[in-house]
Amino acid sequence: MSMMTNTLGRYFAGRFVISALGVFLSIFLLLVLVDYIEMVRKTSGLVSASAVVVAETSLFRVPQLLEKMMPFCILIGAMTCYLALSRRLELVVARAAGVSAWQFIAPALASAIVLGILATAAYNPMSANLRELSKQMEADLFGSAPGGGIQDASGFWLNLINSDGQVIINAARSEQQGVRLTGLTLFRFDNDFQFKERIEAREATLEDGYWLFKSARRYSLDSPPVEQDSFRLATSLTAAQVRNSFSTPETVSFWQLPSYIRSSESSGFATAGYRLQYHKLLAQPFLLAAMVMLAASVSLRFFRMGGVQKMVLSGVGAGFLLYVLSKVTEDLSKAELMHPIAAAWLPVLVGGLTGFLALLYQEDG
């Protein structure tokens, strides 16, 4: 019996992994296609933008978007797997052989935890690095001229004060987690806060003790515009401080988050977002397992009993409610109204307990 159970376990685990990866790849291709069409629309007026570069930019942007949808991929993959097994009466045969529902759910739970560990330890750093590459490629596409390209409505703002006065910097895009900025506009004021000049630059890089601006154009009130290849602007900011200011928690890889949290605490920056992201990644394997429990609770019913559409809608609705709960706890944590550990693990506990109790009622109740 143990050999049969082990063979069935490997079979059920393989079917679940294939279904989950199939859903993941399908959504990946769909997102790449949609993002590529949008990038083609944005770059239609740029002569230097080739189709290969645009496709690479879209391809590098999608993994981070898909990471947020990974729980839904597991949910839909598990539902597809169990509904297919039920339609072919394989679950009926397994039950007739004495295998309980808990036994053929266990391989999927173990597989979901393994997939979650891989997503946290390997996929997350890869998606963060690819996102940085996509930002650099976007800057190369849209930032070929000072102040040119497509800029964000708000962008990134930086206020510098030195011996010459005050400088307010607006950057359209941030790369390398704030160390390199593109699409810049500077407003310079003297020590009496009187306006001196406006400067547009293609890019700026933080060096040791200064910002290095390239391809700049200066505008003043009493003289015509002046082109300048490069100029320096003194600053006391360090690379760690800039990274903590510009990088969002989602763009920092799992292995770098602990050092970012320590650096932010020592610099006096808020750490709630980084702590929440760190605990969310720690809880991700168990969140995927909770999604398997939810999927199993609504998809183990036999096809001949009907109500398949209702079961599918129930599973999708449960996943959506769990997503809403996770967003609410995330906002509360970022507003420092809830501890990051509670915000990250509460959706896991709610989803897991809901699926467990539903299965317990169906199988043993």
3-state secondary structure of 202: strand
pLDDT tens digits, residue range 220-258?
Answer: 888 888 888 888 888 877 776 676 666 677 778 898 888
Structure tokens at 170: 């607006």
For position 307, what pLDDT does the model report? 63
Give the confidence band of 145 by pLDDT, cuts at 50, 70, 90: very low
**What's residue 148's pLDDT?**
39
Q: In what order do the strands lie in the sheet with 195-207?
A: 156-162, 165-175, 180-189, 195-207, 210-220, 226-234
pLDDT tens by residue, 168-222: 888 887 776 677 888 888 898 888 878 888 989 888 888 888 888 988 888 888 8
Task: Give percent above pLDDT 70 in the chain.
Answer: 87
Residue with more model confidence, 110 or 49: 110
Task: Summarize pLDDT for 65-88 with one digit per residue, the tens.
Answer: 888 889 999 999 998 888 888 888
pLDDT of residue 144: 43
Q: 121 and 253 in contact (C-beta within 8 Å)?
A: no
C-alpha closest to that of 118 among 127, 106, 105, 130: 127
Structural Rg of the chain based on CA atoms: 26
* pLDDT score at 136: 76
For residues 203 and 214, is the Cβ–Cβ distance under 8 A?
yes
- Residues forming a β-bridge with 186: 169, 199
Q: Find the range with the poorest average confidence among 37-46, 89-98, 100-109.
A: 89-98
Cα–Cα distance measured from residue 171 to residue 160, given in angstroms and rounded to the nearest whole number: 13
Indicate whether 328 pLDDT > 80: yes
Q: Which of 28-42, 157-171, 237-251: highest mean pLDDT?
A: 28-42
Q: Which of 14-23, 74-83, 98-107, 108-117 has the lowest mean pLDDT?
A: 98-107
The pLDDT value given to residue 348: 92
User: What does DSSP assign to residue 249?
Assistant: G
Tens digits of residue pLDDT in 257-310: 888 888 767 655 667 788 888 999 999 999 999 999 988 888 776 555 556 677
Least confident range of 2-11, 179-188, 325-334, 355-364: 2-11
Handedness of CA 121, 11, 27, 331 (dihedral sign): negative
Residues 114-124, mean pLDDT to the nearest whole number: 94
Burial of 317 (0-12, 13-18, 19+ CB in 10 A): exposed
pLDDT score at 259? 82
Q: Averaged over 20-28, what is the pLDDT?
A: 93
pLDDT at 18 > cutoff 90: yes
Residue 153, pLDDT above cutoff 50: no
Cβ-proximal residues to 272 (8 Å cutoff; 6+ apart), any chain:
333, 334, 335, 336, 340
Q: Is residue 315 pLDDT above 90, yes or no?
A: no
Give the mean pLDDT of 36-53: 81
d(CA 124, CA 24): 15
Higher-confidence residue: 140 or 148? Answer: 140
Mean pLDDT over each residue of the chain, to the nearest integer: 81
